[in-house]
Amino acid sequence: MPRNAESIAFRSALEVIRGVEPRVADAIGAELADQRESLKLIASENYASPATLLAMGNWFSDKYAEGTIGRRFYAGCQNVDTVEALAAEHARELFGASHAYVQPHSGIDANLVAFWAILADRVEAPALQRAQARHVNDLTEADWFALRRELGDQRMLGMSLDAGGHLTHGFRPNISGKMFDQRSYGTDPATGLVDYDRVAEAAREFRPLVLVAGYSAYPRKINFRIMREIADSVGATFMVDMAHFAGLVAGKVFTGDFDPVPHAHIVTSTTHKSLRGPRGGLVLCGPELADQVDRGCPMVLGGPLPHVMAAKAVALAEARRPDFAGYARQIVDNAQALAEGLLRRGATLVTGGTDNHLVLIDVTGYGLTGRQAEQALLDSGIVTNRNAVPQDPNGAWYTSGIRIGTPALTTRGLGTAEMDTTAELIHTVLSQTSAGVGPDGTASKAKYVLDPALADKVSRQASELLTGFPLYPDVELG
């Protein structure tokens, strides 16, 4: 392939877009420029390959394809069948699963498919059949509570939000919290680590239908063999949401007890984050749940997105290449180097370090809230997101933590030496930022004070650090 093929492809696409709405073309170009210049440390973000990006911009976008392979509600889906089958095949081979469902539009959708599959498999009730016949968006709040009463108030046990769990694991603001009576397990207050004995005790007391493992802000491995034993001890279905660490599973960094696929009844994931694919989701399961999972559309999902399934097939094929394992290993090496660099400079980290792709900084040691730290870092060319820490005194909006991750910078080629420099830049900003004062003269949880000259200096240093690691080096837009 000519080295300029990617430039030609993206430049031509922008010219076509500019002919209709130039402001959209300008925004797309500006986004690439912004991403090239900033240190992207959001743990849930990455950079998809040009092949993956290009696979989404084509005529598959125009096709309706409700149903599953060979059983569509629309005619003319033979080419959609091809790309969906390829994506499912790559997912099965990559993760060693017997069945893969690649239609979910997101991780939330993948979780909804899994929840309904579990309920359909475990619960026989006219209410469930009626709910399956209607789209979930048509169900009112009263419908959900009536359904839960008829289903026997089914229970879910998952990791608490402040310990690193996710909103979709049964919490009330999310639809999963309307489907299940939820209880959380936390982490040990002294160590921040999962205490499996406490999880087992909570399971024995609560008797959940579903035990969920997985996280969005827990910087350590989870022993899925032990979690499966806990689920089996109370007759629960064991579900793992590996959205964040799927790339570490695919790259064989997480193996044995730390690979969820051999131990869980059902596994969900996104296809972006550490897996480095398009924004979307997937579900892996054994044959006992396969039929129910394949009913995700129209039970939960609207029409599948064939152009995104095509991109999933490309990204999953990329993840099966030998070099992906090296990439996954480097993600963890970089995260550990970043954690060590922060610790040497006096930062406080939840659990004292990391085993995976993310680091959680408790910024109260800097006298800041997560919201203040997030914005001060953004002003300085460092993109992160605020996140709660265990027993967070500032709640889920302001928070006391900053979550950072290494998948994106690792994709750009940065290594452990650059992670130490990154730690220095983060520490410099946080140590030179102070809490601001609100209109009433009291300390603000949102306002902050940072010398603009320092922010500009760090931003330039971040840009200089990235100079040797160009993003999409074969793509020139002008």
Q: Which residues are catalytic?
A: 64, 66, 241, 270, 273, 279
Handedness of CA 39, 43, 45, 47 (dihedral sign): positive
CB 274 within 8 A of CB 249: no
CB 422 within 8 A of CB 341: yes
* Closest alpha carbon to 213 in 284, 252, 160, 150: 160
Parallel, antiparallel or unpaired: strands 155-159 and 181-185: parallel
CB 401 within 8 A of CB 387: yes
Give the three-state DSSP class for 71. Answer: strand
Helices of type H across 358-451: 370-379, 395-398, 407-412, 416-431
Give the three-state DSSP class for 30. Answer: helix
Cβ neighbours, 10 Å, residue 20 = 8
CB 448 within 8 A of CB 433: yes
Helices of type H across 123-241: 126-133, 141-151, 176-179, 196-206, 224-233
